[in-house]
Each structure stands twice: as structure tokens, then as C-alpha cells.
Amino acid sequence: MATNRTFTMIKPDAVANGHIGAIINDITSAGFKIIALKYTQLTAETAGKFYEVHAARPFYKDLVAFMSSGPIVAAILEKENAIEDFRTLIGATNPAEAAEGTIRNKYAKSIDANAVHGSDSDENAAIEGDFFFSADERF
């Protein structure tokens, strides 16, 4: 059953380039409610664990190094049809292919430094949200 929730991270590139406020504004303007929010930095170990599903992929090592290179903002978001609508809002993984006006089109530079993460399924949204947030950090 759909949970109407997704999980996102504003990645180190977008944080370093000063886009936290603009991205959160895009997210809330699109109708997403913030259920949980955290400004933190992943270690190589925690980034490796978060992206464990990609461990066999050739880009895994660079991805882990990049995701632990600076602070990120993690959030659980709620909206009807959250997974699909959020993926539409952020655009394609590769910013060169992201539709005009999407978050990755506006703020991302490359497939690694692609500004934001968005969960690809209800199941992964729950796993990823649990990775960062305890029950008493959700509102």
C-alpha cells in the first residue's frame, strides 16, 4: 500500500552552492509537507551503508566519497502520490537529461553531484527514512 511518503537528501553539492533554502521552497511549494528534517554529514561508512544497494556498481566508490564530502540535509516528505510526484519534481538522475524547471535541471551539475536524492519506491522510502530518523524526530 502507498504510504504517501518519500525520503530525500539535499546533497553536498547543492548545500555547498547555497541552494538549501531554494530547494526546500521548491519542495514545499509543490505541496510536500515536511515530516522530518536534519542537517548532518555522512561518514564514508554511513554513506556506504545507505547506498549499499549500489555496492556492485562501478560508480559506488565515487558516490560514497562524494556523499560523505560535506554536509547534507535529510528529510521525510508527505504528499499524495509522493514517490512519483517527487521524482517528477526533481527530474532525471542525470541533470543533462532533467526536464526544464526541475530541481536537478536548476541546481545540479553532474550525475554524481545531482543536487538531491529521491526514493524510488515506498519500500525504499521507509528504509531510507528509518536510516536517518527515529519515531520522535517525525512530526
The catalytic residues are 117
Minimal distance, residue 17 CB to ligand CMP, in Å: 15
CA-angle at 131, arms to 113 and 66, nearest 5°: 20
Interface with ligand CMP (CB under 6 A), residue total: 8
C-alpha cell recorded at residue 94: 542525470
Looking at 20, 22, 34, 111, which residue binds ligand CMP (CB under 6 A)? Answer: 111
Select the residue interacting with ligand CMP from 114, 125, 128, 129 (CB under 6 A). Answer: 114
Which strands make up the sheet holding 72-78, listed edge to edge?
Answer: 33-40, 72-78, 5-10, 116-118
Q: Are 82 and 73 in contact (CB under 8 A)?
A: no
> Binding marks (x or -) toward ligand CMP, 28..67, rule CB under 6 A?
--------------------------x----x---x----
Alpha-carbon distance of 26 to 102, in angstroms, equals: 9
Q: Answer yes or no whether residue 122 interacts with ligand CMP by CB under 6 A.
A: no
Minimum separation from the CB atom of position 59 to ligand CMP (A): 4
Q: Which stretch binds ligand CMP (CB under 6 A): 18-26, 29-37, 95-103, 108-116?
A: 108-116
Closest CB to ligand CMP among 102 and 114?
A: 114
Round to whole Å and give the CA distance between 116 and 94: 11
Contact 21, 27 (CB under 8 A): no
Q: 17, 20, 69, 112: which one contacts ligand CMP (CB under 6 A)? A: 112
Closer residue to ligand CMP in complex, CB, 39/59: 59
**Tally of CB atoms within 10 A around 3:** 14
Instruction: Report helix, strand or coil for 64.
Output: helix
